[in-house]
A and B are shown apart, each in its own frame.
Chain A
Amino acid sequence: MAENKNNSAEKAKASSILEIRSLQKAFGGHVVLKDISLSVERGNVISIIGPSGSGKSTLLRCASFLETADGGDILYDGKYAMHDGVYASKAELNRCRTRFGLVFQNFNLFPHYSVLRNVSEPPIIHGVDKETARERAMELLKKMGLDGKENAYPFQLSGGQQQRVAIARALALNPEVLYFDEPTSALDPELTGEVLKVIKQLAEDKMTMVVVTHEMPFARAVSNHVIFMDGGVIVEEGHPEAVFGNPTQERTRQFLRNYQR
């Protein structure tokens, strides 16, 4: 873990894969994100924690263009996807899309596709030849501990297995950063472990990740940067040991206290 941290610190200035500045978003009259700024450097694992409705999922959805932000900048690898509230061209956004992958809370696997096709079709539509895509998919499934499941359909799998297929699907496109939107919230408690284990393994492989999560011990153990959000603002951020061990803000302390109970 320490090694990981040092690595990312070295690269920090050179290589922000994602940078967000003063991001704003309101639904109707309700402001969900107020002036959020963050930067994701290659090799880092960032956890975003906070109570429900704090805007952390919205932040991730804005970063992956599923929600249209109202103002601010979004940059991928130094290039504007949104500049002062104005989105870049469709083509530029599509280029940005190839840089990130997103793992949903509800997996959102395609139920009519086999596990293999779920993982192999996205690369194929991006022009990868079928055989290569297939081999890569098999490799990823194996890595996720899903060998032998390639011909199963999602409904035949447990929630934990489905989420691992979803991770494999996201990885199949070789993203530079992987977003997780509460990846274990829809799972039975006994199934969260297998998914967290996979994410931990990815962290060890130096995968850049942003994880919105309620799993505090996991966030503390895996990430090298933690962001605590509440009411649409970043209340506190820093090294996990600092945020979890010695929070400076009262709201952070209160939140963590509630969680420990």
Chain B
Amino acid sequence: MSLMTMIIKMSEGLSKTCAIFFLTLLFSLPLGMIVALLRMSKIKIVSAVTRFIITILRGTPLMLQLLAVTYGPYYLFGANVARNKLIPVVIAFSINYAAYFAEIYRGGIESIPVGQYEAAEVLGYTKFQTFMRIILPQVIKRIMPSVTNEVVTLVKDTSMAFTVSYQEMFTIGKQIANSQTSFMPFLVAGAFYYIFNVIVDWVMGRIEKRLDYYR
């Protein structure tokens, strides 16, 4: 197999890698905010339960969560295993990353001085307006570096979808490596991930720069 064929075959898997990546971000970024707000809820039981769930999601391997989401329903209820593995993969990734994002959001929200809330309150902003107009924009700026870290990790974590036989780029790379008894596909995969992350870094850098107009 020529290097070109190898790259073409693996590029087919790249679209699935991208699907995991973008869908996970699409769902986990807002979900993380909901989780963060539940985590900070004044109702003790809500925040305690949320906190417990977060510790589980952050304290167990993503690989295990992938297996649980994909095969758990079958073993527990005899339900069918999803034919399209993208669904359980995106669910597992979104839930897992939401837990991480939630903690980042929480840190960001708690870092905003209480004076910002007080000023908004005195000026007659509703709680919702305060959050959306005053707090959230400042939180986003503060958490960008941490979010970038997670997004870069997500690019690499997509390779874990192989545990549930989702044919993303790394799975295909492994298959080629096997049939060709060659290390080359791993180097190709490494290059793909690297390029992907260079792009992610550039995009996130642009966003950070756009938020740089104030301090």
Partners in one complex: yes
Stretch at the interface among B66-74, B112-120, B179-187: B112-120
**Per-position contact with A for B191-215: 1 when CB-CB < 8 Å, else 0?**
0000000000000000000000111
Known: A66-B118, A108-B119. Is A155-B125 also a contact (CB below 8 A)?
no
Comparing B2-10, B25-33, B48-56, B134-142, the segment that makes contact with chain A is B134-142
Asked if A125 and B118 make an inter-chain contact with CB atoms under 8 angstroms apart, the answer reads no
B interface residues, how many (CB within 8 angstroms): 20
Decide yes or no whether A59 CB sits under 8 A from chain B: no
Chain A residues positioned under 8 Å from B121 (CB to CB): 65-66
What chain A residues lie within 8 Å of B113 (beta carbons)? 106, 108
The answer to the question of A126 belonging to the interface, with a C-beta cut-off of 8 Å to chain B, is yes
Q: A109 vs B125: C-alpha distance in the bound complex, in angstroms? A: 14
Check: B76 CB closer than 8 A to any chain A CB. Answer: no
Whether the Cβ atoms of B119 and A154 lie closer than 8 Å is: no
Tell me which of B119, B133, B138, B215 contacts A155 (CB under 8 A). Answer: B215
A25-33, A95-103, A240-248, A253-261 - interface stretch: A95-103
Q: Is A111 an interface residue (CB 8 A)?
A: yes
Q: Chain B contacts of A87 at CB under 8 A? A: none
Cα(A94)–Cα(B115), bound, Å: 19
Verify if A82 is at the interface (C-beta below 8 Å from B): no
Which B residues are CB-close (under 8 A) to A104? 115, 118-119
Answer whether residue A218 sits at the interface, using C-beta atoms and an 8 A cutoff. Answer: no
A112 to B214: give the CA distance in the assembly, Å: 6
Docked-complex contact A111 and B138, CB < 8 angstroms: yes
The answer to whether the Cβ of B61 comes within 8 Å of any Cβ in the partner chain is no
A42 interface hit (Cβ, 8 Å): no
Write the nearest CB–CB distance from A18 to chain B, whole angstroms: 14
- Judged by a CB distance under 8 angstroms, whether A80 is at the interface is no
Q: Is B123 located at the chain interface by the 8 A CB criterion?
A: yes
Q: Which residues of A contact B133 (CB under 8 A)?
A: 121
Closest to B214 in A: A153
Residue A138 CB within 8 A of the other chain: no
Docked-complex contact B118 and A97, CB < 8 angstroms? no
Q: Determine the chain A residues whose CB is within 8 A of the CB of B215 once the complex forms.
A: 111, 153, 155
- Contact between A173 and B214 (Cβ–Cβ < 8 Å)? no
Q: Residue of A at shortest CB range from B215?
A: A155
Please measure, in the bound complex, the distance between the C-alpha atom of A125 and the C-alpha atom of B125, giving whole angstroms: 7
* Interface residue from A111, A125, A169 paired with B214 (Cβ < 8 Å): A111
Q: Tell me which residues across on chain B come within 8 A of A109, comparing CB atoms.
A: 119
- A108 and B125 within 8 A (CB): no
Contacts of A111 in B (CB 8 A): 138, 214-215
Chain A residues whose CB sits within 8 angstroms of the CB of B1 once the complex forms: none
> A112 and B125 in contact (CB under 8 A), knowing A66-B118, A104-B115, A153-B213?
no
Is B153 close to A, CB under 8 A? no
Contact A108 B124 (CB under 8 A): no
B118 touches A122 (CB 8 A): no
A101 to B119, CA, bound (A): 10
Q: How many angstroms from the CA of A98 to the CA of B121 in the assembled complex?
A: 11
B41 on the A face (CB < 8 A) = no
Which residue of B116, B133, B134, B214 has the most chain A CB atoms within 10 A of its CB atom? Answer: B214
CA A100 to CA B124, docked complex, whole Å: 10
- Within A120-159, the residues touching B (CB, 8 Å) are 121-122, 125-126, 153-155
B149 at interface, CB cutoff 8 A: no
Cβ contacts under 8 Å, B138 to chain A: 111-112
- Ordered by A's residue number, 12 sampled pairs between the chains whose C-beta atoms are within 8 Å are A101-B122, A104-B118, A106-B113, A109-B119, A110-B116, A110-B120, A111-B138, A112-B138, A125-B125, A125-B129, A155-B214, A155-B215
Residues of B in contact with A (beta carbons under 8 Å apart): 113, 115-116, 118-125, 129, 133-134, 137-138, 141, 213-215
- Contacts A104-B119, A112-B214, A173-B124 known; 8 new A-B pairs at CB < 8 A: A108-B113, A108-B115, A108-B116, A108-B118, A110-B134, A112-B141, A154-B214, A173-B123
Q: Which 7 A-B pairs have the closest CB atoms?
A: A108-B119, A108-B115, A155-B215, A122-B123, A102-B122, A153-B214, A112-B137
